Amino acid sequence: MKKEVEKELQKLIRTATNKSLVPEDFEGICKSVNVVRMYYDISFDSNGYRGVGDEKNDSHFQVVELYDLKVKSGIKKVFTFFYSGNEYVHACIEFAEGIEEQDIDMDTCGILADVIYILVSRQNMRLMLDYAESHDALTGIPNLKAVSSKYMSSVVRNPDVKYVVLYINVKDFKYINDRGGVHLGDFAMAKLAKKLEGYIREDEGICRVGGDNFAFFIRRDNLELMLDRLKSVRVDGLIGLRNNSHRFSFRIGVSDTEVKEFGARLEEASTACIMGRSVLKKDVVIYNLELSEIINYNNSVVAAFADALTGNEFVPYFQPKVNMCTGEILGLEALCRWVRNGEVVEPMDFIPQLDRKGMITELDMAMLESACKSISKWKKMGLKVPVVSVNFSKKNIFVPDIERKIISIIDNNDVGCDLIEIEITETVHESEISRLIEFVRILKNYGIKISIDDFGTGYSSLSLIHNINADEVKIDQSFVKRLAYEDKAVMLVESIINIAERLNMQVIAEGVENAEEGRILLKLGCKIVQGFYYEKPVSCEKTADILGSHSYRTIKI
Ligand code: C2E
Ligand code: MG
Ligand code: MG
């Protein structure tokens, strides 16, 4: 290599390590080796944008000029570098017209090509970093940061347009991972994201907000169409699934308020989505004034709970379980009431909130304690006390040492375990059954009775009733209501009664409001009922009166 060329090259390399190169930096070296034009192009990864240039350009080649003397060129040399994945960088060097092959200094050209390659890598790295900062790595669609700034610019640019913000959660995405593994899951998520991205218009935005959740902002007049499209989104090419495709559906929360900041609106939309799932049981929930009132109310319940508990504001009411043939009281169910600011609040207005926040165990334990105290009081009055049942959230079975806590509450109040029954709902998940079996076994060893509440409404009814050695099954009131006019309900109730009898369990029907329902149940073989026909839940004092004097009217077939 000529001394002069070597000097120029060294100068270029020094410059390249300190700053981004501009065409003037190449002038010296190019002139010394008769190069008139230098540029590079990149073959792109066919899965999406990865290179230098305009993101919207879907061409797979991008030419970037480094130096151009703007004169006619002759021989062209191309050096190809493998970049990453299926990306290639081509460093192209063109020589002045009339330069022959033997005049070309290939060593110098090779070094020049290396410099070009390093330049590309550096520039590409910068673009990729910019890209990563604004895009979701898994799906390649924009991320939250990018969409919130796009939202602000759309709002500012189109002051007359109303935008709604959507928070959507893919239903049952776990199915894809379970069926095809995590790789198919990732692939499906990326394909789904691209499809959803295709639904938005230029001034609208979409991003993935982690897990299987997406956020949109769209024009309000596009909402109806969007909700319609989101009812079922088909994604093809998912090898390993039936028909290699899957139809996705979503839980959707919509913020249709005036709040301007994107984060605040997204919070409203996500709250609506969560409320739809946990409370309202709806796939699409629009965040509005009504919903914000519910949320405020729920928060107030949670905030007031600790003080209400220590202030003894939660009290049990009792509802008798009656034998329709004899009018005899066979049991009492303790049902919680909250005496809040002098008003009696029903459990459905606070139990679900406490259950969701993990505070239900304290309440259930307090109810057990109050029930025991009531039993002691009635006994001291010389009354004959039947078995008293308390309701238990299924969350309690996972509280460490729960069985010991239950027993010690009963013992400390000097009540026999045989007077206590625990009602658990049957809506336990399959995975929870083994723990439930153990819980029941331990309590039954102490003589505590177990009742399966709301039977028939859950999804594990049959396996539960076979696996759990319960004493009682409570037929849910939704069946009782339908008995008079729906043959299917009659058949279901009849079979529940048969199974319970065969498994030696007592059957009781809940929510009996009139003699007609009582008569049908009697005909089907169920003698014990609980319901407004006999008594509404009443206070401890009123229960004492009932226990002292009452035998209820009987029902004859
Ligand atoms: P549940 O255990 O199934 O209780 C039966 C519900 O049906 C009670 O509602 C009762 O008042 C109502 N009911 C009884 N007879 C009739 C009738 O003839 N017609 C109608 N329409 N309703 C009737 P309540 O007291 O509002 O309790 C609702 C639910 O709250 C209970 O359902 C139970 O799941 C839960 N709950 C109540 N107290 C507690 C508690 O201390 N702990 C827990 N974890 N849950 C409780
Ligand atoms: Mg109950
Ligand atoms: Mg029930």
Nearest Cα residue to 308 out of 263, 345, 269, 357: 345
- Whole-angstrom distance, CA of residue 51 vs CA of residue 123: 9
Alpha carbon of 510 to ligand 2 centroid (Å): 9
Cβ–ligand 1 distance for 513 under 6 Å, the answer yes
The Cβ of residue 175 has, within 10 Å, a number of other Cβ atoms equal to 14
Mean pLDDT of 370-397: 96
Alpha-carbon distance 317 to 331, whole Å? 13
Q: How far is ligand 2, taken at its centre, from the CA of residue 363, in Å?
A: 15
Instruction: Assess whether the C-beta atom of 517 lies below 6 angstroms from ligand 1.
Output: no
> Is 346 close to ligand 1, i.e. is its CB under 6 Å away?
yes
The pLDDT assigned to 197 comes to 96
Cβ of 143 less than 6 Å from ligand 1: no
pLDDT value at residue 86 = 55
Whether the CB of 148 sits within 6 Å of ligand 1: no
Burial of 140 (0-12, 13-18, 19+ CB in 10 A): middle
The residue whose C-alpha atom lies closest to atom 27 belonging to ligand 1 is 347
List the residue whose alpha carbon is closest to atom 7 of ligand 1.
511
**Helices 402-412/433-445 angle, 10° precision:** 30
Strand partners, 41: 63, 90
Cβ–Cβ under 8 Å, residues 61 and 69: no
Task: Among 322, 359, 391, say which to mutate for ligand 1: greatest number of ligand atoms within 8 Å of CB.
Answer: 391
Q: Which atom of ligand 1 is nearest to the CA of 513?
A: 18
| Spacing, Cα 392 to ligand 2 middle (Å) | 8
Closest CA to 60 of 39, 36, 38, 86: 86
**Predicted local distance difference test score (pLDDT) of residue 249:** 96
Q: Whole-angstrom Cα distance, residue 251 to residue 273?
A: 6
For residue 454 and ligand 1, the question of a CB distance below 6 A is answered with: yes
| Cα–Cα distance, 388 to 352 (Å, whole number) | 23
Residue 336 identity (one-letter amino acid): C
Ligand 1 atom with the shortest distance to the CA of 396: 44
Residue, of 128 and 101, whose pLDDT is higher: 101
Is 256 in contact with 166 (CB distance < 8 Å)?
no
The per-residue pLDDT for range 398-437, each reduced to its tens digit, is 999 999 999 999 999 999 999 999 999 876 666 778 888 9
Distance in angstroms (rounded) separating the CA atoms of residues 367 and 391: 8
The SS3 assignment for 13 reads: helix
Which atom of ligand 1 lies at the shortest distance from residue 512's CA?
A: 18
Q: Which residue's structure tokens are 């739809």?
A: 276
Band (43; pLDDT cuts 50, 70, 90): low
Return the best residue to mutate from 395, 510, 513 for the ligand 1 pocket (most ligand atoms within 8 A of CB): 510
Helix/strand/coil for 91: strand
Atom of ligand 1 nearest to the CA of 355: 44
Instruction: Give the 3-state secondary structure of 95-156.
Output: EECCCCHHHCCHHHHHHHHHHHHHHHHHHHHHHHHHHHHHECCCCCCECHHHHHHHHHHHHH
**pLDDT range class, residue 47, cuts 50, 70, 90:** very low
**CA separation for the pair 105, 1 (Å, rounded):** 8
Angular region, 197: left φ>0, alpha ψ -120 to 50, beta rest: alpha
d(CA 208, CA 216): 9
Nearest to 188 by CA among 212, 209, 206: 212
Over residues 55-80, the mean pLDDT reads 73
pTM for this structure?
Answer: 0.64
Euclidean distance between CA atoms 505 and 528, whole angstroms: 12
Q: Which residue type is seen at 130?
A: D
Measured in Å, residue 394 CA sits from the centre of ligand 1 at 15
**Cα 262 from Cα 165, distance rounded (Å):** 8
Instruction: Say which range, 205-209, 217-221, 453-457, 483-487, has the weakest mean pLDDT.
Output: 453-457
The tens digit of pLDDT for each residue in 181-220 reads 888 888 999 999 999 999 999 999 999 988 889 999 999 9
Sheet containing 73-84: which strands, arranged edge to edge? 61-68, 35-43, 87-96, 73-84
Strands 61-68 and 35-43, bridge-based pairing = antiparallel
Q: What is the mean pLDDT of the chain?
A: 87
Cβ 531 under 6 angstroms from ligand 1? yes
Phi, psi values for residue 328, rounded to 5°:
-80, 145
User: E strand or H helix at 35, and its extent?
Assistant: strand 35-43
Alpha carbon distance, N-terminus to C-terminus of the chain? 115
Q: In angstroms, what is the span from residue 524 Cα to ligand 2's centroid?
A: 22
For residue 475, report the distance from its CA to the centre of ligand 1, in Å: 13
174 Cα to the center of ligand 2, angstroms: 33
d(CA 325, CA 121) in angstroms, rounded, equals: 88
**Alpha-carbon span 218 to 214, nearest angstrom:** 13
Q: Which residue has its alpha carbon closest to ligand 1 atom 19?
A: 511
Structure tokens that stand for 54 in this block:
């305009």
Which ligand 1 atom lies nearest to the CA of residue 335?
38
What is the 553 CA–ligand 1 centroid distance (Å)? Answer: 23
Cα-based distances in Å from 289 to 104, 165, 292, 293, 352: 77, 16, 5, 6, 21
For residue 48, what pLDDT is reported? 35
The predicted model gives 334-357 an average pLDDT of 93
Within the chain, how many helices (H) and strands (E) appear? 17, 20
Closest ligand to residue 457's CA: 3
Measured CA to CA, the distance from residue 188 to residue 173 in angstroms comes to 9
* Ligand closest to CA 530: 1
Closest CA to ligand 1's atom 11 = 537
Please tell me the distance from the alpha carbon of residue 184 to that of residue 235, in angstroms, as a whole number: 12
Q: How high is the pLDDT of residue 87?
A: 62
Cα(194)–Cα(212) distance, rounded to whole angstroms? 14
Q: Which ligand is nearest to the CA of 533?
A: 1
Name the closest-CA residue to atom 23, ligand 1.
511
The residue to mutate among 314, 335, 474, having the most atoms of ligand 1 within 8 angstroms of its beta carbon, is 335
Q: Compute the 3-state secondary structure of the chain and give helix, strand, coil in percent, each to the nearest 5.
A: 45, 25, 30
3-class secondary structure, 87: strand
Ligand 1 atom 17 nearest Cα = 511
Residue 61 has pLDDT above 90, yes or no: no
> What is the Cα 543 distance to its own chain's centre?
43
For residue 95, is pLDDT > 50?
yes
The residue that leads in pLDDT, 378 or 121, is 378
351 lines ligand 1 (CB under 6 A): yes
| Residue 488 CA to ligand 1 centre (angstroms) | 24
> Which residue has the CA at smallest separation from atom 46 of ligand 1?
391
Q: Is 426 in the pocket of ligand 1 (CB under 6 A)?
A: no
For the stretch 341-362, what's the b/e string if a residue is b when 16 or more beta carbons lie within 10 angstroms of its beta carbon?
Answer: eeeebebeebbbbbbeeebbbe
Q: How many CB atoms lie within 10 A of CB 398?
A: 12
pLDDT score of 57 = 41
Tokens in use for 290? 């009504």
